[in-house]
Amino acid sequence: MGGMLQYVECTVNTGDKVTVTLKTTGSMGDVISESTSIAYTYAKNYLSIIDPNNKYFEKSIHLHFPAGAIPKDGPSAGVSVVTALLSLALNIGVKDTIAMTGEITLSGKILDVQAIKEKIIAAHTTGITEVILPSSNHAEWDELDPILTSGITVHFVSTYDDIFKLSFPDYDLTKLKKKNSKSTTQLVTITDQSSSVSCSF
């Protein structure tokens, strides 16, 4: 059984100009809620390092996993959440042909995930041509049938720095926009349909 694409959306609550919060919706279980909280903290800290003058996270953010009727749980959407939040804060989009998966820690390490085969099947069926996988999942990728891996470029990562460079290849610290105009961002994630676990592709 294959997987399915799951989008991660985030936007600013324009009506809330005082309270700094992260609101999450989308039938999220305890583990994915915890992972999202970790990703939010990491994204704020990462932004403070690469762009100290950026105050975007001094706002109320709403993060949503569409298809609310489908339960979602698991830690592997972490890297997608971080990237979606940074895309919003930096006003830089991410290619819609790239997908990623991996659990992220507070120190930015990328941990392995399950159901690599299902994720790659989902990538094939939805036009994804480039995937980002944890380095610790290299063996699972190597075991896949060449029919599944054909036409897909894979990047193995160990830290979030690796993901940032792949997601925002044109990012230049010397050419930062002083004012961010992007109000909403959306990033692809993948769910293992057979277990309803978010697999952040």
Out of 44, 72, 117, 119, the active site residue is 119
Residue 129 CA neighbour count, 13 Å, CB half: 4
For residue 162, which of 69, 89, 100 has the smallest C-alpha distance?
100
- Which residue has tokens 């094939």? 124
CA separation (Å) from 200 to 15, 33, 95?
29, 13, 15
171 sits in the region (left: phi over 0; alpha: psi -120 to 50; else beta) called: beta
165 is annotated as an active-site residue = no
Six-digit token string for 112: 């392995």
Contact criterion met (CB below 8 Å) for 11 and 197: no
Out of 35, 76, 80, 198, the active site residue is 76
What residue type is assigned to position 48 of the chain? S
Considering just the CA atoms, what is the radius of gyration of the chain in Å?
16
CA separation (Å) from 42 to 45, 106, 124, 141, 145?
5, 6, 30, 27, 35
117 is annotated as an active-site residue = no
Active site residues: 76, 119
